[in-house]
Amino acid sequence: MVIAVLAAAAAASLWAAVAIGGPSRVEGPASGVILGLWRVLYNTDTPPVRVLATATALAVLLAAGVALLEQRIATRSRRSANPVSTPLAPRIVMAATRGAYSGPVSVTVLIPAHNEEASLPATIASLRTQSHPPERIIVVADNCTDATIALARRAGVEVFESVNNSRKKAGALNQALTWILPAQGPNDVVMVMDADTRIDDGFLAAAVQRFTDDRALMAVGGLFYGELGHGLLGQFQRNEYIRYSRQIRRRRGRVFVLTGTASLFRPAALRTVAEQRGVSIPGTNGDVYDTAALTEDNELTIALKSLGALIISPHQCTVVTELMPTWSMLWAQRLRWQRGALENIGAYGVTPQTLRYWVQQLGIGYGVLALGSYLLLGVLMVLSLDEWVWFPFWLGLGALFMVERVCTVWKGGWRARLLAATLLPELCFDMFLNIVYVKGIIDISLGRAADWKHVPHTSAVDEQETAL
């Protein structure tokens, strides 16, 4: 509710600032002909220079302020020597491990799986073919009714079956971690990887090197890209993921979320989280994952940051994850993500570690109002005018925006670039995500129960049979 009110207030303030000046006196639009064929009306009026300068200055000031504040918070966390509030801070970890050699880094992979017979073989194969393969692979089978367990054993990996688990993925992982963590040494890192994900070759080698080089590093996350296929909807998601990965690379790996697709953790980090649950962070004492969270990966990231942990997502650690094939599945997935993110920061409150997340949510809320107003006014213009009036200044800004959209998905290939260049389809996709955001706020405000909604996967054989 705070985010919704602040976003509405910001939009109202902008509207008032524009309206105070009153209607400006402008000349009528001029007429012109493009290529000797197309007659258009155009208006060369632009906003006053003082308005442009003020808007630019405010935007730069806000962006710089957020960046400097985030850097200050991160620096203070790294330098913290308080073992009570920040037991995982680099300064404390380095002091505790100075002069000690705990052996080479080894990797134990946990793959939570609920009826994942279609995607599990490819996931295991991507682990086996790594230049630095993991020492152990454990499939965490949670209430499986298909051939998941049989396929895992046939592939020669260990299987851990959850017992009486009603807490979904988080509950199953908590049981598995309770089983393996006691025997884990300081350098026996634990990787949690979704059963519908394939890690690219070099992922584990890069992650292990990072852990080897930096004793203070507590977690390494992956940068995820979308699989091929699923038509236009799939391309929307691929473009979105490419832009997110590009943003993290430009932040030099400073990560917002340790993605559940594939992330690695030091045992000390997971043990500390379990010890601090119900003490300094939300959750049940002894649990690594908060079973009350809809987005357990996002919540665990905030937990680690709150305890002072140093985490990173290197650009070499890339994974390919499944995309939602239908709009209804995408709606369910994004509603869970968005509502989970809101509930997570609500549970932690406003702290230095969550401030960036609050600012992000406020930005999303403001974007909902801005994009919605833009599209609504565009429709009203189409319905109200017999002839359009083109403004070269705003067309120039639109062209600049189009260049930015294309450049940010350049590595996605010509399909990604073509979709980005058309602008309107991606704006409509963004509006779809905005509606999901609003739905999440409404559900939280009305106290509606949330649903985890497992997404079933189909194998290639199933798809062929369905087609026949």
User: pLDDT category, 468, cuts 50, 70, 90?
Assistant: very low
Task: Give the whole-angstrom CA distance, residue 169 versus residue 166.
Answer: 9
Distance of CA 331 to the CA centre of its chain: 15
Contact 222, 248 (CB under 8 A): no
Helices (H), 98-147: 120-128
Residue 53 has pLDDT above 50, yes or no: yes
Task: Tell me the Ramachandran region of residue 349: left when phi exceeds 0, alpha when psi lies from -120 to 50, beta otherwise.
Answer: left
The pLDDT score that the predictor gives to residue 22 is 56
Which of 181, 174, 133 has its CA nearest to residue 157? 133
Burial of 275 (0-12, 13-18, 19+ CB in 10 A): middle
Residue 151 has pLDDT above 50, yes or no: yes
22-31, 103-112, 153-162, 281-290: the lowest-pLDDT one: 22-31
Residue 215 DSSP label: T
Exposure string (b/e) for 133-143, b if CB count within 10 Å is 16 or more?
ebeebbbbbbe
Task: Give the whole-angstrom CA distance, residue 459 versus residue 11.
Answer: 47
For the chain, what percent of residues have pLDDT higher than 70? 90
Residue 182 has pLDDT above 90, yes or no: yes
User: pLDDT category, 21, cuts 50, 70, 90?
Assistant: low
The pLDDT score that the predictor gives to residue 467 is 36
User: pLDDT category, 71, cuts 50, 70, 90?
Assistant: confident
Which of 45, 15, 17 has its CA nearest to residue 30? 45
The pLDDT score that the predictor gives to residue 455 is 55
Residues near 12 by beta carbon (within 8 Å), at least 6 away in sequence: none
The pLDDT score that the predictor gives to residue 8 is 75
Residue with tokens 């902008």: 14
Exposure string (b/e) for 451-463, b if CB count within 10 Å is 16 or more?
eeeeeebeeeeee
Q: What is the mean pLDDT of residues 367-382?
A: 85
User: Tokens at residue 217, please?
Assistant: 């590093």
Highest mean pLDDT among 9-13, 59-63, 246-250: 246-250
The pLDDT score that the predictor gives to residue 37 is 63
- The model's pLDDT over 188-227, given as tens digits with 9 standing for 90+, comes to 999 999 998 999 999 999 999 999 999 999 999 999 899 9
Residue 459 has pLDDT above 50, yes or no: no
Contact 82, 430 (CB under 8 A): no
Which of 366, 338, 356 has its CA nearest to residue 4? 366
β-strands 30-34, 38-42 pairing: antiparallel
Report the mean per-residue pLDDT for the chain: 86
The pLDDT score that the predictor gives to residue 27 is 63
User: pLDDT category, 303, cuts 50, 70, 90?
Assistant: very high
Q: What is the mean pLDDT of residues 101-115?
A: 92
Residue positions counted in the chain: 468
User: Tokens at residue 81, please?
Assistant: 């020597």
Which of 351, 343, 332 has its CA nearest to residue 283? 343
Residue with tokens 């997404």: 455
Q: Which domains does the chain have, with CATH numbers?
A: 1-19+46-79 (no CATH), 89-325 (3.90.550.10), 360-450 (no CATH)
Task: Tell me the Ramachandran region of residue 22: left when phi exceeds 0, alpha when psi lies from -120 to 50, beta otherwise.
Answer: left
The pLDDT score that the predictor gives to residue 52 is 78
Contact 300, 263 (CB under 8 A): no
Tell me the residue ranges of DSSP E strands in 56-184.
106-113, 136-141, 158-161
Task: Give the whole-angstrom CA distance, residue 159 versus residue 331.
Answer: 32
β-strands 106-113, 197-199 pairing: unpaired
Task: Give the whole-angstrom CA distance, residue 8 versus residue 369.
Answer: 8
User: pLDDT category, 99, cuts 50, 70, 90?
Assistant: confident
Contact 395, 423 (CB under 8 A): no
- The model's pLDDT over 400-411, given as tens digits with 9 standing for 90+, comes to 999 999 999 999
CA distance readout (Å), 403 to 59, 145, 399, 406? 20, 49, 6, 5
Residue with tokens 């290197």: 314
Which strand (E) or helix (H) includes residue 134? none
What are residue 455's phi and psi, to 5 degrees?
A: -95, 115
- Neighbouring CB atoms inside 10 A of 11's CB total 17
- The model's pLDDT over 28-44, given as tens digits with 9 standing for 90+, comes to 667 766 656 666 676 77
Residue type present at position 196:
D
Residue 138 has pLDDT above 50, yes or no: yes
Angle subtended at Cα 192 by Cα 188 and Cα 195, rounded to the nearest 5 degrees: 140
Residues near 266 by beta carbon (within 8 Å), at least 6 away in sequence: 186, 187, 189, 190, 211, 217, 218, 219
Greater confidence (413 vs 380) lies with 413
- The model's pLDDT over 273-291, given as tens digits with 9 standing for 90+, comes to 999 999 999 999 999 999 9
User: pLDDT category, 453, cuts 50, 70, 90?
Assistant: low
Residues near 211 by beta carbon (within 8 Å), at least 6 away in sequence: 105, 187, 189, 217, 220, 264, 266
Question: Taking the alpha carbons of 223, 227, 233, 235 in that order, is the dihedral positive or negative?
Answer: positive
Residue 465 has pLDDT above 50, yes or no: no
Angle between helix 327-348 and helix 424-445 axes, rounded to 10 deg: 50
Distance of CA 449 to the CA centre of its chain: 23
The pLDDT score that the predictor gives to residue 256 is 85
The pLDDT score that the predictor gives to residue 13 is 73
The pLDDT score that the predictor gives to residue 454 is 55
The model carries a pTM of 0.86
CA distance readout (Å), 245 to 225, 241, 317, 456? 8, 6, 11, 26
